[in-house]
Structure 1
Amino acid sequence: MFAAMADCTPEELLIGGPLWTRQAVVELVRLVVGVDMTEQGVGLWLRGHGFTPQRPARRAYEQQSAVVRAWLDEEYPAIGTRTKAEDAAIAWVDRCGLRSDAVPPGRSWAPKGRTPIVRVTGKRPRVNVMSAVASRGALWFTVFTGRFTAAVFTAFLDRVARQAGRKVHVVADRHPVHRGKAVRSWLEDNADRVELHLMPGYSPELNPDELLNADLEHNVNASRARTVDRLAHGTRRFLRRRQRQPHVVRDYERLRHHHEAMVRWSIVRVTSRRLTRPR
């Protein structure tokens, strides 16, 4: 029963939706052992066997498992080997946007039936952040308010290479700007300083810089910023603090390896189910 919960969803077992709720487990127990349990009893029983309620990670339907597995098993190890041979650095790059109305202000205690009110601006200020993290704890970033273009991206790559002081192997997603003609031309002219490697499509969980984005969105209270300048100032202030905390930045890389292990496990699980599924 526990193996079924770990390897399948209620939807796959035709007893519910995509999530293992206590109600779905009640139905599973009734079908497997013929015992009717209460939802409260199921919750205590699951905790006693090492199960906890968790926010599920998201995976895009468009993600190609075979491509991701090949990248993890072949392409990324090859990047690491070249990096060591060239005494270069690996930097994981990503872009994110912060908008004052995109993140709720959190929760506040209040009398029952009286919803608390937080004053926010109706102007919706927004800033963009381009950042790069390295396994040794280095963090580079730029905060800008305009569009994300090839000029912005190449200027950021140039800064990363200058501040790193050696060649940098940059790992990024397959954003159209990253694959554009202007960026390819710049990379050809700067091949001795920067080399760009694109991750498989629809696989943000492989990038530790995504954890920095989540950290940023959680700790910068964008909803309280009344102007673009204030939002940009708060964003830069937080990122500069993280630059002085390389142990936190290194944790992004450590957690990426955890994500990578989970991705490998999920790929193997899906593949094995396909191979063993009766035709």
Structure 2
Amino acid sequence: MIYEQTLTAKVLIEFMSRLIQGQPKKIFLILDNLKAHRSQAVRAGLEARRERIEVFDLPAYSPELNPDELLNSDLKGVLHGGLPAKTKAELKRKARSHLYRLQKRPDRIRRYFKQPKIQRFYGHENTGKIL
């Protein structure tokens, strides 16, 4: 989901609804300390979907533990590589294209979680789950 407005609780709830739509397995979502992530509305939305989505909250000020930062870096590399986008529409197309390719490459996404600091934080000793 690409959004242009500020990330609010309403936008995040819409994202979570779209994320779980049609997914047969439970979704694991990582959230940082953005104000919208901690809102009452988001927490209520998560509670209502707890069978379908589980959240892992990052400690405050810990971008080095956020696999999303690796995705952002990956995406920026693609967006800055090759011919530059000349319009907002071209930039969106380029971003969507890369993100769709990533959806078909779970091995690449798993690599974000295999970085040493990230793996220690999200490893089974912290979450009870094996990544």
TM-score in terms of structure 2 length: 0.77
What are structure 2's unaligned runs of at least 5 residues?
A: 122-131
1:249 and 1:195 map into 2 onto residues whose CA distance is 18
2:60 and 2:77 map into 1 onto residues whose CA distance is 25
- Pair 1:157–1:238, CA change in 2 (3 A): same
The answer to which structure has the higher strand fraction is 1
Give the C-alpha shift of residue 176 in structure 1. Answer: 0.4
> What SS does the corresponding residue of 2:29 show, helix, strand or coil?
strand
Give the C-alpha shift of residue 148 in structure 1. Answer: 1.2
1:150 and 1:201 map into 2 onto residues whose CA distance is 19
For the pair shown, the structure with the greater C-alpha radius of gyration is: 1
Choose from 89, 96, 99 the match for 1:229.
89
Q: How does 1:1-279 map to 2 (within 5 A)?
A: 142-221=1-80, 224-255=84-115, 258-260=116-118
1:48-96 deviation per Cα after TM superposition (whole angstroms, max 9, x unaligned): xxxxxxxxxxxxxxxxxxxxxxxxxxxxxxxxxxxxxxxxxxxxxxxxx
- Pair 1:154–1:213, CA change in 2 (3 A): same
- Pair 1:175–1:229, CA change in 2 (3 A): same
RMSD: 2.4
Matched residue pairs, number?
120
1:205 and 1:238 map into 2 onto residues whose CA distance is 23
- Pair 1:148–1:214, CA change in 2 (3 A): same
- Pair 1:196–1:232, CA change in 2 (3 A): same
Give the C-alpha shift of residue 237 in structure 1. Answer: 0.9
Q: Which residue of 2 aligns with 1:130?
A: none
The answer to which structure has the higher helix fraction is 2
1:130-165 deviation per Cα after TM superposition (whole angstroms, max 9, x unaligned): xxxxxxxxxxxx112222121221121122222432
TM-score in terms of structure 1 length: 0.39
Aligned 8 A contact 2:66 2:118 in 1: no
> What SS does the corresponding residue of 2:30 show, helix, strand or coil?
strand
Using the aligned pairs only, state the percent identity.
Answer: 34
> What SS does the corresponding residue of 1:197 show, helix, strand or coil?
strand
> What SS does the corresponding residue of 2:28 show, helix, strand or coil?
strand
